[in-house]
Chain A
C-alpha cells in the first residue's frame, strides 16, 4: 500500500529525515516510536504533503507516486493524517468543512456530491462510533476544544473520510483512560483488509488496544530498528539507549 524509499527531507538546509525506508501493506498496523525530535511528525507531514520541506526519495501509495500531488489530492487518494497538534480554525464549522471535504474528494473520484440526507446519516453514525458530543461537531473546527476533544475530533474526521492509509500522530497523548479506549475502539472498527494504519506513539498503553503488526524505531531521521509488537514492550522496559548507543558508536 505505502512504500517509502530512501526518503530525505530538509528545512533550510537542515536534514530532518535522512534516507528513510518503510513498507506498509494493506490490512497492517505499524507503530512508529522514537525519542522526541527524531522526525516522526515530519515523516507524517511529508507523507500528507506539507510543502515546508525539500524532499528527495520516493513515496508511492498503491503504486502511485504521490510526492507530486497536492495535500488534497493525497487525501482524495486515501491518505489521512491525525495531527499531533490539531489546528484551531475559528469561524469554520466542523460539519460544513467536512461536507466540503467529503464532496471535494467525491468530485476528485468523479462522483456526484453526497445527498444531504445521506451525509447527515453518516455524520450521526460516525459521531456515535467515536462517542463525539454532537455539540462539538457543529462548533468551529477545534476552537476551544480540550486536548482530548481535539484528538477525538481527529478520529471522527478519519471515520468520516474513511481513508486507505491513516497516520495517527500521538493521538493517544492527552486522552484519559476511557477516551483512549473509545478512540482505539474507533480505529479498530475502521480497520479492514484494504486499509492500513500507522500509529506514532510514545507509549505501550495505546498498543495494548491497537495491536501493531510491526513496530519501528525512528531515530535521527532514519528507522534504526524494526520488529514485532514485542519490540514495543522491550522499549517500554529499556528505553532507547541500547539502540542509540551502538548506532552512535558506528
Chain B
C-alpha cells in the first residue's frame, strides 16, 4: 500500500527527467529509493513536520510556461547575472549570463555533457541522497538547475541571481545546483523562489564546494504562494580559511523545509548562517541546520529569527558538532521567535555536541510576544498602533537584515516586510 503511494509519487517525475544521467550518485540514489520511505514524524529529523501535503498531491505533467516578463522578480537596482528557471526548465531567453568572466555558469543538464570530469568529481559528493528521501528523489529526477564554477582567484564582479519561477497548477520540479568555488575566489549567489501563478512543489538540492580561502555569500529568498511547498537541501563543504555565509529569508510559502548541512573541513574557516522567517495563515516553516566542526580554529555564527502570525508554525533545529580535533572552535547559535497570536507556535531546539575541551560555544533560544509596554510607550508619543507594531517587528528582524551586504536586496526586503505588517 505504502509502496504504491511511493511509486505514484515518483511517477510524477519520470516524464520530466530530460537528460541522461549515468552518474554514480544517481545509481546510488536509485538504489536508496528502493528502501527509503516518505519521512514521518516518528523520525527525530522530521518530528514536527508532516510531509503529507507534499506526498499526497498529484502533480501536473505539463512542462510548458507562459512567463515572458521577469522584471518583478529581479532585485530592483541590482546588477546581476540572471539565470531563470520556470517550472524547473532553464529559460535562455529570460536569462542573462553572457558576459560572465572568470566563471563557468550553465544549466546543470549542459554541464553533465560538457564538463564531464568536474561533474564526476563533484556531483553527489555532498548530497544526502543515500539517507534522505527528498535528496534521493532530487538526485534521480532532477530536471535542471545551475552548474557554477568560479575559477581560482576570481572575484566575480556581480552577484549571480538564480530565479526559480512556477506558473503551472500543481507544478513539481527538482532543481539541482552544483557550485564549485575554487581557491581564493569570491562570489555572491542569490537564489529566489517565487510563484507566478498556481501552486507547486519545489524539491531543491544544492551542493557547494568552498575551496581554500574562498568566500561565498549566499542568499535564499523564499516567496512562494501559500499553496506551494518546498524542501530545500543545501550541502556545503568548506576548506581551510574559507568563509561561507548563508542568509535564508522565508517570506511566504505553504510548507517550507530547509536543510543545511555544513562540513567545516579546514582550519581558519568562518561559517555564518542567518535566517529570517515571517509566517502567517497556516504556514509551516522548518529550518534544520547542521554545522560540523571537524578541524580546529574555526568560527561559526548562527542566528535565526522568526515572526509568526495567525495559526502558523515554525520549527528550528540547529545542531553544531565540535569534533575532538576541533580545538579553539568558536560557535554561537541563537534562535528567537516572536509570536503575534496565541495560535502561532514555535518549536525550537538549538543543540551543541562538543567533543573538544578548548572551545567557546554558546546557544540559546527565546520565544516571546511583542512587548505591549513598548507598544503603549510608542503610542503615547503619537505613533499609531499599526506603526508601533511594525517598528517593533522591524527592530526584531533587523538583526538579520543588518547582515545583508547587498543594499538593493535589503531595501526590497525591508519594504516587503513593512508592506506585510501595514
Return B368 CB to nearest CB of chain A, in Å: 12
Known: A80-B380, A87-B374. 17 other contacts (CB 8 A): A48-B380, A49-B380, A75-B379, A76-B382, A87-B373, A88-B374, A89-B392, A90-B395, A91-B399, A92-B378, A97-B381, A98-B381, A100-B387, A102-B382, A108-B382, A140-B395, A161-B382
Known A87-B373, A87-B377; contact A72-B392, beta-carbon cutoff 8 A: no
Cβ of B398 < 8 Å from any Cβ of A?
Answer: yes
> Assuming A71-B376, A87-B371, A87-B374, is B381 touching A161 (CB within 8 A)?
yes
B377, B380, B384, B388, most chain A CB atoms within 10 A: B380
Known A-B contacts A87-B371, A91-B399, A104-B384; the reply to A72 vs B379 at CB < 8 A is: yes
Q: Using A50-B376, A100-B387 as known contacts, say yes or no to A92 and B395 having CB atoms under 8 A apart.
A: yes
Closest B-chain residue to A72, C-beta based? B379
Residues of B within 8 A of A (CB): 371, 373-374, 376-385, 387-388, 391-392, 394-396, 398-399
10 residue pairs bridging A and B, Cβ less than 8 Å apart:
A72-B380, A72-B381, A75-B379, A87-B374, A89-B371, A89-B377, A100-B387, A101-B381, A104-B384, A161-B381
| CB <8 Å contact, A75 and B382 | yes
Asked if A91 and B396 sit within 8 Å, CB to CB, the answer is yes
Q: Which residues 135-158 of A sit at the B interface, judged by CB distance below 8 A?
A: 140-141, 157
- The complex places the Cα of A79 from the Cα of B382 at a distance, in Å, of 9
Q: Identify the closest chain B residue to A79 (Cβ).
A: B380
A70 at the interface (CB under 8 A from B): yes
Shortest C-beta distance, A138 to chain B (Å), equals 15
* Residue among B376, B385, B388, B391 with the highest chain A CB neighbour number at 10 A: B376
Given contacts A87-B371, A97-B391, contact A72 B384 (CB under 8 A): yes
Chain A positions within 8 Å of B383 at CB level: 72, 97, 100-101, 104
When chains A and B are docked, how far (Å) is the Cα of A80 from the Cα of B383? 12
For B391, the chain A residues whose CB sits under 8 A away are: 92, 97, 100
The answer to whether residues A71 and B380 also contact, given A87-B371, A87-B373, A104-B387 and a CB cut-off of 8 A, is yes
- Bound complex: CA A93 to CA B11 (Å): 55
Decide if A86 is an interface residue (CB 8 Å cutoff).
yes
Q: Which residues of A contact B (CB under 8 A)?
A: 48-50, 70-72, 74-76, 79-81, 83, 86-92, 97-98, 100-102, 104-105, 108, 140-141, 157, 161
Q: Which 8 A-B pairs have the closest CB atoms?
A: A91-B395, A71-B379, A75-B382, A105-B382, A101-B381, A87-B377, A101-B382, A72-B379
Query: Chain B at the A interface: mostly helix, strand, loop or mixed?
Result: helix
* A208: min CB distance to chain B, Å: 28
The 8 Å CB contact of A86, one of B371, B377, B388, B392, is B377
Cα of A86 to Cα of B392 in the assembled complex, Å: 16
CB distance from B201 to the nearest CB of A (A): 36
By a CB distance below 8 angstroms, the chain A residues around B392 are: 89, 92
What CA separation (Å) do A86 and B381 show in the bound complex?
12
Count of chain A to chain B residue pairs whose CB atoms are closer than 8 Å in the complex: 77
Central interface residue in B371, B383, B395, by most chain A CB within 10 Å: B383
Which of A48, A100, A140, A141: most chain B CB closer than 10 A? A100
Cα(A141)–Cα(B376), bound, Å: 13
Q: Are B377 and A83 within 8 A (Cβ)?
A: yes
Which residues from B are CB-within-8-Å of A79? Answer: 380
Which residue on chain A has the smallest CB distance to residue B376? A50
A48 CA / B380 CA spacing, docked (Å): 6
Known: A92-B391, A92-B395. A72 touches B374 (CB 8 A): no
Determine the distance from Cα of A87 to Cα of B383 in the docked complex, in whole angstroms.
Answer: 15
Q: How far is the CA of A141 from the CA of B371 in the complex (A)?
A: 13
B379 cross-chain contacts in A, Cβ below 8 A? 49, 70-72, 75
Residues in chain A near residue B381, CB distance under 8 A: 72, 75, 80, 97-98, 101, 157, 161
The residues of B that contact A70 with a CB separation of less than 8 Å are 379, 384-385
Name the CB-closest residue of B to A44: B380
Alpha-carbon distance A75/B387, docked complex (angstroms): 14
Please, which residues of chain B bring their CB within 8 A of the CB of A71?
A: 376, 379-380
The winner among B373, B381, B383, B398 for most chain A CB atoms within 10 A is B381
Most buried by B among A76, A104, A105: A104
| Complex: chain B residue closest to A71, CB-CB | B379
Cα–Cα distance between A49 and B376 once the two chains are bound (Å): 9
**Inter-chain contact A89/B380, CB cutoff 8 Å:** no
How many angstroms from the CA of A80 to the CA of B380 in the assembled complex?
Answer: 7
In the bound assembly, the distance between CA atoms of A101 and B391 in angstroms comes to: 12
Bound-state CA distance A98–B383 (Å) is 8
Is the beta-carbon distance between B382 and A104 smaller than 8 angstroms?
A: yes
Q: How far is the CA of A71 from the CA of B394 in the complex (A)?
A: 21
Residue of A whose beta carbon sits closest to that of B395: A91
A210 CB, min distance to chain B CBs, angstroms: 21
Chain B residues positioned under 8 Å from A102 (CB to CB): 382
Residue with the highest number of chain A CB atoms closer than 10 Å, among B371, B381, B382, B388: B382
Compute how far the CA of A74 lies from the CA of B381 in the bound complex, rounded to whole angstroms. 9
Q: How many whole Å from B32's CB to the nearest CB in chain A?
A: 46
Determine whether the beta carbon of B382 is less than 8 Å from that of A72: yes
- In angstroms, Cα B398 to Cα A90, docked, is 11
Whole-angstrom distance between the alpha carbons of A50 and B26 in the complex? Answer: 64
The CA-CA distance from A92 to B382 in the complex, in Å, is 15
Give the chain B neighbours of A100 by CB distance below 8 A.
383, 387, 391
Q: Which residues of B contact A157 (CB under 8 A)?
A: 381
Taking CB as reference atom, which chain A residue is nearest B387? A100
**What residues of A have a CB within 8 angstroms of the CB of B394 in the complex?**
91
**Can you name the residue of chain B whose Cβ is closest to the Cβ of A77?**
B382
Name A108's closest neighbour in chain B (CB-CB): B382
- Across the interface, which residues of B come within 8 angstroms of A90, CB to CB? 395
CA distance A49 to B383 in the complex (A): 13
Give, as a whole number of angstroms, the nearest-CB distance from A109 to chain B.
Answer: 10
Q: Which residue of A lies closest to B397 (CB)?
A: A91
Residue in B closest to A105 when the chains form the complex, CB atoms: B382
